[in-house]
Amino acid sequence: MSSDAPAFEIAVTLKRGRLRLAYDFTAGPGLTALFGPSGAGKTSLLDAVAGLARPAQGRIAVSGTVLYDRAARIDLKPERRRCGYVFQDLRLFPHHTVRDNLRYGWKLAEAQQRSLGWDHTLDLLGIAPLLDRMPATLSGGEAQRVAIGRALLSGPAFLLMDEPLASVDAARRGEILGLIERIRSDLKLPILYVSHDRAEVERLADRIIPIPAP
Amino acid sequence: MNSLATGWLSPAEWEVLILSLKVSGVAIVAALPASFALAWMLARWRFPGKVLVDALVHLPLVLPPVVTGWLLLIAFSPNAPLGGFLERTFGVTFLFRWTGAALAAAVMALPLMVRAMRLSLEAVDRRLESAARTLGAGPWRTFATVTLPLSANGILAALVLGLARSVGEFGATITFASNIPGETQTLPLAIYSALQMPGSDIQVARLAGLSVLLSVGALVLSEWLARRSGQEKGRHVV
């Protein structure tokens, strides 16, 4: 991993049904927004970066680490990619408390990968009072903050955020937006951020990659 | 039923009870990994011949038990290739042995167990598994921490169904392993034998009562287990 490598180097073709979606961009540090209408394949791209979906061809590198390169036969498993993925549908483990959800990735990360402390993350997100709750009892905003916390605590090298405001009601949007701004400026993690909301993207993003409808 | 209420069983009755528990216990322990592997294959894999595997698994459920017993007889007799192989390599024989009764019970319980486990595996949200992977868990850890706990109730249901089925197994057992007191004569077979003898009404009633107690006990145990795991999950739900 070299420090002067671009944060994201992505040149892939994804197959989704009969569609072939091609993406080709390089992005520096900070928050890169993938902006486009629903159904344009933005989530498919995040899944490919996370290793949850295999591209038809191409290459994906983050901060100089090659995650996928079809020509070189490199395809890191999801658990080796060190991505903090905040899913649009959150995917909190329903059978675990908030504490155990947060500890899941924390336990698996090596000590030097944990760039953020446990207490610091809980403070930043304001989720310390929720630790003993079950995910089903959380409000949309609370669940969203726990999902962000779980991703941050897993010792990620970069963040993938898929419509993190989707499950938050309008009154709580400002709060989550502010949080994401703090994560962007306080942590030195590159972020790939998916949204279909222009105002949101213009407020948060260091650069915007338009994703047209297929 | 009066003498049963005092809790004392005759040595012969004890023998039948212990043998029944041994046969169904071994049958379920043997059927558990096999049925889980089959349920996993049917729920998660796509392969040619899947329909055939599915049909084969369900065969003991739809065939007359006598036919299943006869097929086992053909496959596992010492003269058959499979039975001969098992006898030569592992020294295991099934004919007229309690192991045969356990095998028959396991085969009869298998379809019910596979069905229950398959349904619960199919109900597990695979998106949660992919979330675990992105958090650094490999496939095995994901299985142990996400898939297994989320399908635990189905596996428990499969165990209870399988146990109930194997304790009550009659047709395939008597055809395959025969009805030998102390070796293959489980509770249902003992009841059947007692019924053949004139003047043994009390004996039949005692064995039938034992059978009822056993079934009710299993049912209560499974309810208790299910409730306990339910409480565990809802621990912090207000």
pLDDT digits (tens, 9 = 90+) for B44-53: 999 999 999 9
Q: Kindly list the averaged pLDDT for each block of 10 residues, start to end, along chain A of length 214.
A: 79 88 93 89 94 95 96 96 95 96 96 87 93 95 95 96 88 88 90 92 93 81
For residue A135, the model assigns a pLDDT of 97
Q: What is the ipTM of this complex?
A: 0.93
Size of interface A-B (CB pairs under 8 A): 71
The Cα B18–Cα B210 span in angstroms is 12
Amino acid at A151: A
Query: Beta A19-27 vs A8-16: how paired, if at all?
Result: antiparallel
Supply the pLDDT for residue A168: 83
- Cβ atoms of residues B83 and B75 within 8 Å: yes
Q: Can you give the residue ranges of every domain in chain A? A: 29-46+82-208
**CA of residue B105 relative to chain centroid, distance:** 6
Under DSSP, is residue B31 helix (H, G, I), strand (E, B) or coil?
helix
For chain B, the structural domain boundaries read 2-233
What pLDDT sits at residue B237? 36
Count of CA atoms in the C-beta half-sphere (13 A) of A86 = 28
Distance (Å, rounded) from C-alpha A89 to C-alpha A79?
Answer: 20
Residue of chain B whose Cα is closest to the Cα of A152: B135
Alpha carbon distance A148, A153 (integer Å): 9
The share of chain B scoring above pLDDT 70, in percent, equals: 93
pLDDT of residue A145: 94
Q: What is the pLDDT of residues B122-168, one digit of tens each?
A: 999 999 999 999 999 999 999 999 999 999 988 988 998 899 899 99
pLDDT for position A193? 96
What percent of chain B has a predicted confidence (pLDDT) above 90?
Answer: 67
CATH class of the structural domain A29-46+82-208: alpha beta
Task: Name the more confident of B116 and B232.
Answer: B116
CATH classification code of B2-233? 1.10.3720.10
A8–B contact, CB cutoff 8 A: no
Place B86 in a pLDDT band, splitting at 50, 70 and 90. Answer: confident
Alpha helix ranges (H) inside chain A: 42-50, 98-108, 118-125, 140-153, 170-186, 198-204
| pLDDT value at residue B80 | 85
* Cα-trace Rg, chain A: 17
Please say whether the dihedral angle defined by the alpha carbons of residues B200, B202, B207 and B211, taken in this order, is positive or negative: positive
- B146 in A contact zone (CB under 8 Å): yes
| Contact B149/A at CB under 8 A | yes
> What length does chain A have?
214
Beta bridge partners of A27: A8
Residue type, A119: D
